[in-house]
């Protein structure tokens, strides 16, 4: 492998490449667009397009694609060649500014939530100059937004960029009151990514994994994660080879892959990048997931990104570390050494507290999916109840402000191992709370509830919007105050808003039954499933906020709700039908074969007067489970048919959640019991032991 600094970003049309290949005035104009969001002219685009094309061809590209993020949850691309007919039956390689700025993919088959009819096919992709183009294989990838012919938003990038703009404007209003005028304020994100790796050979023998991404059946193995020996443990040879190649591929694409380690569950791992601006972090995470799958396949493995691919062991999430900073490098969530007198930090912190409390519903629904329903609150992820962890130091300060008492700064205590050769270290003034959905971790908030397959755009749209709206309301108050009264007015605002929203702050164990009761007493939302969560999407309050910030229209909000509800119904429907198919065609025939063999064995042994008590007991147990599984499979088919007749998507989703999912769980119980009884050579699929505890 080449040296990392030489390798890093080698396939990216980044600022270094731009400086080298663009005229100074063109580079300056493009850089201004990237840093301030100002529009780019067609003349500038033509020059950039030609330079980008020449660079991409040198990297082996023959095609380009407008790479976008429709509401499917994954990315989309259509490849067009650079070739253009020339005289004498030859071709030239051409790429214009018009082609760079705008594409026209077919929009008819992407989810639109009723915004578009199937026959209305035209859609547009628009270049996002704030996110770098890159080359993968023979294709130049150009990050783009995606809108309908009528201008309605059909993707996840456009509202994310709008939310960034709203947050920027609101934060600049607030900073102006502190005498600061940076060019821009941006949200930054580091998205930690969990995943499973299993052998491709075994994966290919599990139709449930192939079709749904998770195991619909599977008895708990004798050894899972009980010994906690996999977490941060020695990385297996084959897995380490995968990680090394993954890092190399990600570095080439300018992705700051920093950390890699084993996670809690066997065969589970994680990688974490360094922070990037939220739109670039979103692009990078989508790209990273695609690269992970590709590299795993090249190593004879499959990368599973489902939130709960295996029952009984930890599922996979994505930790969204969110912060806001100015263009000149000031982190607005940095408490500093003198927390007591850091009024600016306290204002921004209080805005986040209010935003999370007022918009619990939006944060909760931003992590809602059929897959994540299996994971939230399962002692492996935060519960569905949204709350915030601030730590003792900050909570104490806010409590003293709200009560009028005097506060004295905490300092970290010395921590000594008792070994002279090991340096003394100082404890942080706050711990990390892995059970909290929204945890303050020093100078950022870690939102831990996202599922591993998620596009992080939705969650960050909600965070950006909620904080922007709150900052605007704060600015509305403080902009009317005389300069000499500003400090007093700001402190009064902090006090009033903390008292009004302190119910959202909880520094304890979110997994306990006591917190369930306490959160209900506080009036916090407890939205256990996806259908219940999505019902809140289009409340009047939410619609008005999105319209106020110019992120979504009312129609776009309702469309997203419909898309997500419909997706939930489709996912559960596919899983249920897959269960029925596997039960009837594979599990029950295998169990019947086993029971027949047992019956034959009993008959033969009985002829010799042998004791067949054990065989009798087993065959009765198997026969009973076969009958129970068959009956439940029939019930599942009926539940699916009933849910399909549910009418609107909300009603259907409720039926899938309440009836279909519960019947699926019941069917699994019977089938998993059969797996525990039957000989391994008769069971039709690789078991959890095979899948999770492979030697590598």
Q: How far apart are CA 480 and CA 473, in angstroms?
A: 12
Residue 417, pLDDT above cutoff 50 = no
Q: How many CA atoms lie within 13 A of 686 on its CB side?
A: 21
Averaged pLDDT, 246-271: 94
d(CA 110, CA 108): 6
pLDDT tens digits, 73-107: 889 999 999 998 888 888 888 999 899 988 877 76
Q: Name the CA dihedral angle for 348, 354, 359, 361, rounded to a multiple of 10 degrees.
A: 120
Helix (H, G, I), strand (E, B) or coil at 246: helix
The predicted pLDDT at position 33 comes to 81
Q: Of the given ranges (123-132, 178-187, 210-219), which has the lowest mean pLDDT?
A: 123-132
Residue 601: burial class (beta carbons within 10 Å; 0-12, 13-18, 19+): middle
DSSP string, 631-682: HHHHHHHHHHHHHHT--SHHHHHHHIIIIIHHHHHHHHHHHHHHHHHS-TTT
524/436 Cα distance (integer angstroms): 14
The stretch 372-377 carries a mean pLDDT of 89
- Any idea which residue has 């397009």 for tokens? 49
Question: Are 263 and 194 spatial neighbours (Cβ–Cβ below 8 Å)?
Answer: yes
Burial class of residue 132 in the structure, from the number of CB atoms within 10 Å of its CB (0-12 exposed, 13-18 middle, 19+ buried): buried
Higher-confidence residue of 252 and 337: namely 252
Q: How many residues does the chain have?
A: 696
Helix (H, G, I), strand (E, B) or coil at 38: coil
Q: Name the packing angle between helices 343-358 and 157-177 (round to 10°).
A: 140
Strand (E) or helix (H) holding 536: none
Question: What pLDDT score was predicted for residue 138?
Answer: 97
Instruction: Name every residue whose Cβ is closer than 8 Å to that of residue 215 and which is 6 or more positions away in sequence.
Output: 206, 208, 209, 309, 310, 311, 688, 691
Do 435 and 511 form a contact (C-beta atoms < 8 A)?
A: yes
- DSSP state, 9? T
Q: Hey, is 437 helix, strand or coil?
A: coil
For residue 420, pLDDT beyond 70: no
Q: Are 445 and 451 in contact (CB under 8 A)?
A: no
Residue 667 pLDDT more than 80?
Answer: yes
- 575 and 374 in contact (C-beta within 8 Å)? no
Q: What is the mean pLDDT of the chain?
A: 91
- Please give the pLDDT value at position 86: 84
Measured CA to CA, the distance from residue 45 to residue 49 in angstroms comes to: 6
Q: Are 364 and 527 in contact (CB under 8 A)?
A: yes
What is the distance in angstroms between the CA of the first residue and the CA of the last residue of the chain? 23
Q: What is the pLDDT of residue 231?
A: 80
- Strands 139-148, 63-67: pairing is parallel
The structure tokens listed for 504 are: 């959202």
* Max avg pLDDT among 234-238, 375-379, 530-534: 530-534
What span, in angstroms and rounded, lies between the C-alpha atoms of 356 and 389?
A: 11
Q: Would the pLDDT of 409 be above 80?
A: no
Sign of the alpha-carbon torsion through 645, 648, 651, 654? positive
**Per-residue pLDDT for 591 more than 70?**
yes
Give the per-residue pLDDT at 107.
66
Residue 325 in 3-state DSSP? strand
For residue 503, give the 3-state DSSP assignment: helix
> What's the pLDDT score for residue 91?
81
User: In the prediction, which pLDDT does 415 show?
Assistant: 47
Structure tokens at 339: 């927390």
Asked if residue 93 lies in contact with residue 117, where contact means CB atoms within 8 angstroms, the answer is no
Give the range among 27-41, 180-194, 285-299 with minimum mean pLDDT: 27-41
Listed as own residue / partner, the contacts of 376-382 with beta carbons closer than 8 Å and 24 or more positions apart are 376/449, 377/511, 378/314, 378/315, 379/511, 380/264, 380/314, 380/315, 380/317, 381/315, 381/317, 381/448, 381/449, 382/435, 382/436, 382/437, 382/448, 382/449, 382/510
Q: By the 8 A CB rule, do 292 and 303 touch?
A: yes
List strand residue ranges (DSSP E) for 169-218, in order.
Answer: 185-199
- By CB atoms closer than 10 A (0-12, 13-18, 19+), residue 645 is exposed
The pLDDT of residue 430 is 55
Beta bridge partners of 12: 134
Burial code of 2-35, b = ≥16 C-beta within 10 A, e = fewer? eeeeeebbbbbbeeebbeebbeeebbebbeebbe
* Residue 367, SS3 per DSSP: coil
Mean pLDDT of 620-637: 97
pLDDT of residue 410 exceeding 70: no
From the list 315, 291, 193, the residue with the least C-alpha distance to 692 is 315
How confident is the model over 580-608, as a mean pLDDT? Answer: 95
Determine contact, residues 315/374, Cβ cutoff 8 Å: yes
Q: How confident is the model at residue 2 (pLDDT cuts 50, 70, 90)?
A: low
Instruction: Quickly state the pLDDT bin for 407 (edges 50, 70, 90).
Output: low
378 band by pLDDT with thresholds 50, 70 and 90: low
Instruction: Quote the distance between the C-alpha of residue 447 and its chain's center.
Output: 10
Residue 433 clears pLDDT 80, i.e. is over it: no
Q: Are 583 and 597 in contact (CB under 8 A)?
A: no
Question: Cα 659 vs. chain centroid, distance in angstroms?
Answer: 27
Q: Degrees (nearest 5) of the Cα angle 655, 625, 201? A: 80
pLDDT tens for 15-50 read: 999 999 999 999 998 888 877 667 788 888 999 999
Write out the E strands in 357-486.
388-389, 414-415, 425-426, 438-440, 445-451
Which pLDDT value is given to residue 112?
Answer: 77
Contact in structure between 549 and 162 (CB atoms under 8 Å): yes
Largest CA distance in the chain: 104
CA 446 to chain centre: 13
The residues near 218 (Cβ < 8 Å, ≥ 6 apart) are: 310, 311, 672, 675, 687, 688, 691
pLDDT surpasses 90 at 421: no
Lowest mean pLDDT among 38-42, 259-263, 434-438, 586-590: 38-42
pLDDT higher than 60, residue 184:
yes
Interatomic CA distance for residues 416 and 422, integer angstroms: 8
**Is pLDDT above 80 for 232?**
no
- Say yes or no to pLDDT of 516 above 80: yes
């Amino acid at each position: 492998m080449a040296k990392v600094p030489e390798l890093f970003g080698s396939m990216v049309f980044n600022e270094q490449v731009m400086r080298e290949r663009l005229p100074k005035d063109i580079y300056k104009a493009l850089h201004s667009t990237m840093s301030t969001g100002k529009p780019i002219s067609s003349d500038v685009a033509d020059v950039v397009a030609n330079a980008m094309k020449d660079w991409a061809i040198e990297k082996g590209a023959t095609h380009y694609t407008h790479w976008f993020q429709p509401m499917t949850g994954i990315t989309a691309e259509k490849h067009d060649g650079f070739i253009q007919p020339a005289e004498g039956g030859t071709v030239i390689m051409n790429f214009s500014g018009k082609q760079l700025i705008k594409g026209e993919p077919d929009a008819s088959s992407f989810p639109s939530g009723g915004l578009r009819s199937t026959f209305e096919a035209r859609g547009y992709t628009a270049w996002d100059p704030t996110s770098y183009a890159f080359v993968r294989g023979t294709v130049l990838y150009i990050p783009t937004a995606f809108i309908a012919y009528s201008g309605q938003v059909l993707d996840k990038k456009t509202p994310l960029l709008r939310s960034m703009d709203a947050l920027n404007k609101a934060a600049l209003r607030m900073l102006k009151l502190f005498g600061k005028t940076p060019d821009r304020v941006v949200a930054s994100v580091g998205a930690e990514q969990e995943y499973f790796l299993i052998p491709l050979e075994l994966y290919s023998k599990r139709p449930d994994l192939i079709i749904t991404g998770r195991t619909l059946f599977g008895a708990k193995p004798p050894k899972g994660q009980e010994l906690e020996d996999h977490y941060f443990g020695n990385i297996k040879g084959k897995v380490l080879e995968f990680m090394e190649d993954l890092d190399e591929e990600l570095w080439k694409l300018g992705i700051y892959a920093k950390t890699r380690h084993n996670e809690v569950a066997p065969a589970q791992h994680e990688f974490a990048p360094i922070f990037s601006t939220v739109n670039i972090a979103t692009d990078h995470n989508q790209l990273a997931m695609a690269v992970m799958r590709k590299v795993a396949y090249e190593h004879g493995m499959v990368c599973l990104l489902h939130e709960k691919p295996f029952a009984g062991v930890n599922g996979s999430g994505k930790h969204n570390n969110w912060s806001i900073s100015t263009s000149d490098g000031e982190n607005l969530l940095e408490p500093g050494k003198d927390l007591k007198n850091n009024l600016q930090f306290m204002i921004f912190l209080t805005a986040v507290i209010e935003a999370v409390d007022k918009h619990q519903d939006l944060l909760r629904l931003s992590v809602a999916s059929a897959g994540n329903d299996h994971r939230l609150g399962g002692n492996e992820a935060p519960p569905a109840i949204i709350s915030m962890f601030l730590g003792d130091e900050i909570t104490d300060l806010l409590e003293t402000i709200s009560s009028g008492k005097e506060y004295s700064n905490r300092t970290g205590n010395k921590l000594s191992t008792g070994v002279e050769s090991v340096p003394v270290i100082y404890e942080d003034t706050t711990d990390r709370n892995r059970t909290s959905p929204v945890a303050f971790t020093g100078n950022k908030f870690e939102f831990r509830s996202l599922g591993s397959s998620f596009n992080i755009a939705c969650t960050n749209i909600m965070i950006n919007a909620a904080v922007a709206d709150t900052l605007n309301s704060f600015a509305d108050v403080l902009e009317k105050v005389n300069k000499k009264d500003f400090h007093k007015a700001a402190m009064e605002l902090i006090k009033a808003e903390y008292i009004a929203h302190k119910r959202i702050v909880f520094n304890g164990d979110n997994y306990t039954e006591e917190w369930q009761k306490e959160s209900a007493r506080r009036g916090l939302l407890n939205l256990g499933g996806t259908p219940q969560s999505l019902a809140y999407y289009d409340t009047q309050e939410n619609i008005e906020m999105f319209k106020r910030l110019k992120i979504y229209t009312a129609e776009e909000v309702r469309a997203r709700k419909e898309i997500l509800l419909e997706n939930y119904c489709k996912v559960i429907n596919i899983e249920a039908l897959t269960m029925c198919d596997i039960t009837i065609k594979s599990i029950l025939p295998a169990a019947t074969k086993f029971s027949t063999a047992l019956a034959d064995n009993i008959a033969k042994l009985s002829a010799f007067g042998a004791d067949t008590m054990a065989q009798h007991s087993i065959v009765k147990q198997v026969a009973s489970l076969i009958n129970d599984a068959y009956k439940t499979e029939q019930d599942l088919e009926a539940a699916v048919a009933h849910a399909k007749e549910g009418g609107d998507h909300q009603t259907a989703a409720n039926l899938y959640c309440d009836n279909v999912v519960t019947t699926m769980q019941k069917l699994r119980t019977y089938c998993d019991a059969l797996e525990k009884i039957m000989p391994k050579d008769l069971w039709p699929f690789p078991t959890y032991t095979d899948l999770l505890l492979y030697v590598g």
